[in-house]
Amino acid sequence: MANVKQGKALNIQDSRILIAGAASLVGSHTADLLLKEGAREVLLLDNFSFGSMEAIAHLQNDPRVKIVRADLMRLPELLDATKGVDGVVHLAAYMTLGFSQTPWQAVDVNIRGAQNMLEACRVNQVKKFIFASSNAVYGYGTGIKGALHEETPFYSVGAPPAAILYGASKIMGEQLCRHYHQSAGQDYVVLRYSTVYGERQHYRAANSLYIMETYDLVRKGLAPVLPGDGTDTKHFVHVSDVARANVAALKSAATDVAVNVSGPAPITTGELVQLVLEYCKSSLKPEIRPDPPGKVRLTSGGAFHIPHDKAGEVIGWKPIVPMKEGVARLLAWLEEQHKKIK
């Protein structure tokens, strides 16, 4: 059993939980689960800069749901929104693609935005803060391999600048949590998600995008593209497992700790393409075509995996959705979306 500091634990049924950056993939699934577990109130905060009402439309008639249009860059709005709140799940952030397109906003939102929310939590004595970090804190340097456990240092040699900026911004966010714990006693848990995928997937995450790009090609009868020889590793986690991790962290007394949140097992790009082909019942053969220069994708060039044993010990969580089932769920959802557009 890991030796972990103990702080406040929330009883979900008695709690008002605010999700910052709620109108999207992780936020909407976390809200679904909190409501299912009987949360007293769930506040869905977003500035809708890239999330959309569509992701949370199914929740808006629930009397326990309150939609809060607010911006992480405006501290007064966060001070208002966090009054009487017991727990915050802090998700709103730019990812690698966002850092490549609009680095100004990305730096602001990921760093100052996290600090603003921690400050609002301090002022309003929010009991528990969950910070959505990323396995990008390991740097994804060329040839990274082996187990990326929680003590693995940042190794970024050869990684694209946007990926390094994103990882560094998450390190800043994590350390701001530690700072607020040390200076103000703020209880927090950092969850380092690996690549999240699933229903309500958006097109902003470089690696999950690959599943949808592959599917779109196969559906058009075109050969799926392998950016390398197919042995490159990815470690995904299904969004329903991520939502379970967020809720487990709120309920756990653990504090001042960071844990990996990854899926049951890593997968190679070759195996992933095969899963999509099987789902589509297609006999197309993948074509090897290296990514064009400047394409933002977190290629590892090595075989790595992200152990999640510590999350089991610290917050009692482990993933349950295998890749084959998760990909089928994502693609079934995607097909539904295509039908709606037609």
Ligand X SMILES: NC(=O)c1ccc[n+]([C@@H]2O[C@H](COP(=O)([O-])OP(=O)(O)OC[C@H]3O[C@@H](n4cnc5c(N)ncnc54)[C@H](O)[C@@H]3O)[C@@H](O)[C@H]2O)c1
Q: Rule CB under 6 A: which residues touch ligand X?
A: 21, 23-27, 46-51, 71-73, 91-93, 95, 109, 113, 132, 134, 193, 195-196, 202, 204-205, 208
Q: Shortest distance, CB of residue 282 to ligand X, whole angstroms?
A: 25
| Neighbouring C-alpha atoms within 13 Å toward the C-beta of 42 | 30
Tell me how far, at minimum, the Cβ of 3 lies from ligand X, in Å: 26
Residue nearest to ligand X (CB): 51
Classify residue 191 by its DSSP letter.
E
Rounded Cα distance between 205 and 219, Å, is 21
CB under 8 Å to 104, separation ≥6 — which residues?
none
Please report how close the Cβ of residue 173 comes to ligand X at its closest, in angstroms.
8
Q: How do 225-226 and 287-288 pair as beta strands?
A: parallel
Residue that has been written with the tokens 């090609």 in this structure = 217
Cα separation, 125 vs 269, in Å, equals 45
CB nearer ligand X, residue 5 or residue 69: 69
CA-to-CA distance for 145 and 134, rounded, in angstroms? 17
User: What is the closest distance, in whole angstroms, from the C-beta atom of residue 6 to ligand X in the complex?
Assistant: 26
How near is the Cβ of 123 to ligand X at its closest, in Å?
18
Q: Residue 209 or 218: which CB sits closer to ligand X?
A: 209
Task: Give the residue with the Cβ less far from ligand X, 22 or 276.
Answer: 22
- Interhelix angle 323-341/269-279, rounded to 10 degrees, is 50
State whether residue 39 is helix, strand or coil.
coil
**In this complex, which beta carbon is closest to ligand X, that of residue 78 or of residue 273?**
78
Identity of the residue, 113 or 264, whose beta carbon is nearer to ligand X in the bound complex: 113
| C-beta closer to ligand X: residue 10 or 25 | 25
Of 120, 137, 138, the closest CA to residue 129 belongs to 120
What are the CA-CA distances from residue 228 to residues 39, 134, 140, 304 (Å)?
A: 45, 24, 16, 16
CB of 28 to ligand X, least distance (A): 8
Instruction: Give the H/E segment covering residue 69.
Output: strand 65-69
Q: Tell me the closest approach of the beta carbon of residue 177 to ligand X, in angstroms.
A: 13
Minimum gap (Å) between residue 201 Cβ and ligand X: 8
Nearer to ligand X, 6 or 48 (CB): 48
Name the residue nearer to ligand X (CB basis): 186 or 246. Answer: 246
| Residues facing 195 on adjacent strands | 236
Nearest to 49 by CA among 70, 29, 30: 70
Q: Which is nearer to ligand X, 282 or 307 (CB)?
A: 307
Least Cβ distance, residue 273 to ligand X (angstroms): 19
- For the chain, the C-alpha Rg in angstroms (whole number) is 19
| Element spanning 257, H or E | strand 257-261
Collect all residues with Cβ–Cβ distance below 8 Å to 28 and sequence separation of at least 6.
22, 55, 56, 59, 200
